[in-house]
Amino acid sequence: MNLTSPSQVKAWCIENGFHPNKVLGQNFLIDRNALEAIVDAGLAGVANDSGAAILEIGPGLGVLTEEILKRGCSVTAIEKDPVLAARLAESLGNPPKLNVVEADALDWIKDATGAGFAAMVSNLPYQAGTRILLELVQRREIPLMTVLVQTEVAERLAAKEGSKTRGLAGVWAQLDYDVKIVRKVAASCFWPRPEIGSSVVTLTRHDRNIAFSAKERDVFRRLTKKAFEHRRKQLGSIFKDLIQSSLRAEELTNEDWINLSKGIAENEDSRTVS
C-alpha cells in the first residue's frame, strides 16, 4: 500500500473497518513532500549511520516508519492503538530493524529510557503531543527530536521572550534544547483533515546548562509553572518579597529564569515558590 496515497489509505480503513480516532489524535500524513521534509530533518547527522536507533511515537499506518527504515536506521515504534500496533510490522514486511511496542507513550516514557536513541522522529498525536514532548525534553536523553505538531504548539515551543506565544512549554523545552521551526505543513496533507495546520519542529539538545543541578532544576520547574499560571500578573506580585520585578512571566529570558532559580535554590527558599 502506498501510504502517501489518500485513496489507498482510505480504502484500507474501509476494508478493515478502521475509523481514525479523534481522541487519540489519529491524523495520518499523506503528503510525500512533507514526509521527506520531516525525515530529512529528523535524520540529519545520523542518516549515514546504518546502526542508528530511532524512536517513533504514534507511527499510525507507518508512513514515517517505512521511510526511516529505507534510510538504513532501526526504529522502535510506540503505538497506543492495538489495531494499528498489531498490523504495523506485518504491513511493512516484518523488517528486522523494526520493534513495535503497544503502549501509551506517556506510560512508556515513565517506565523506559530514551538513552541509546540517536533521534526521535514522530508525527505526534494532537491531543497528547505537548505532554509527550515535555516529558522527553525534561529527561534530556535524546539528542535530536523532530516532530510534527500543531502550528500553534510549534510556535509556543520556539517562542522567545516578549512574544505573545511565550509560555511554559517553550521555557521548559529551551532549557536544554535549541528549538527551530523547519516548515509548515498544510492541513490538507493529513487524513482525516484536521481543523488546523501543523509544523515540522526540530529540538537539538545543547549543553549550555549542563551544570544546572537537580535542585536548581526543581526550583526552575516550580518557579516557571507558578509564574505562567498567573501570567497576567507582575512577578513581584506573584512572589512578593522573593522577587522584586514589574516584569511578567513571558518577558523573561531562559537565562533570567535560570539565574532566579539558582539564587532561590542557594538561599534554600524554594519552598516559597510551591
Q: Mind listing the pLDDT tens digit for each residue in 168-215?
A: 999 999 999 999 999 999 999 999 899 999 999 999 999 999 999 999
From CA 249, how far away is CA 244, in angstroms rounded?
A: 13
| Residues 231/250, Cβ–Cβ less than 8 Å | yes
From CA 72, how far away is CA 201, in angstroms rounded?
A: 22
Name the E strands within 156-269: 177-185, 190-191, 198-205
The CATH T-level fold of domain 6-205 is: Rossmann fold (3.40.50)
| Residues 204/235, Cβ–Cβ less than 8 Å | no
The CATH number fitting domain 214-273, selected from 3.10.450, 1.20.120, 1.10.8, 1.10.287: 1.10.8
Cα angle 136-142-143, degrees, rounded to a multiple of 5: 130
Q: What is the mean pLDDT of residues 138-153?
A: 95
- In this structure, the dihedral spanned by the alpha carbons of residues 171, 176, 182 and 185, taken in order and rounded to 10 degrees, is -60
pLDDT tens-digit map of 88-123: 999 999 999 999 999 999 999 998 877 789 999 999
Q: What is the mean pLDDT of residues 152-172?
A: 96
| Residues 267/215, Cβ–Cβ less than 8 Å | no
Better-predicted residue by pLDDT, 154 or 112: 154
From CA 210, how far away is CA 163, in angstroms rounded?
A: 26
From CA 164, how far away is CA 2, in angstroms rounded?
A: 41
Q: Decide if 6-205 and 214-273 have a common fold.
A: no
Q: How many helices (H) and strands (E) does the chain have?
A: 11, 9
- Tell me the domain boundaries of the chain: 6-205, 214-273
* Residue type at position 184: K
From CA 11, how far away is CA 133, in angstroms rounded?
A: 32
pTM of the complete model: 0.93
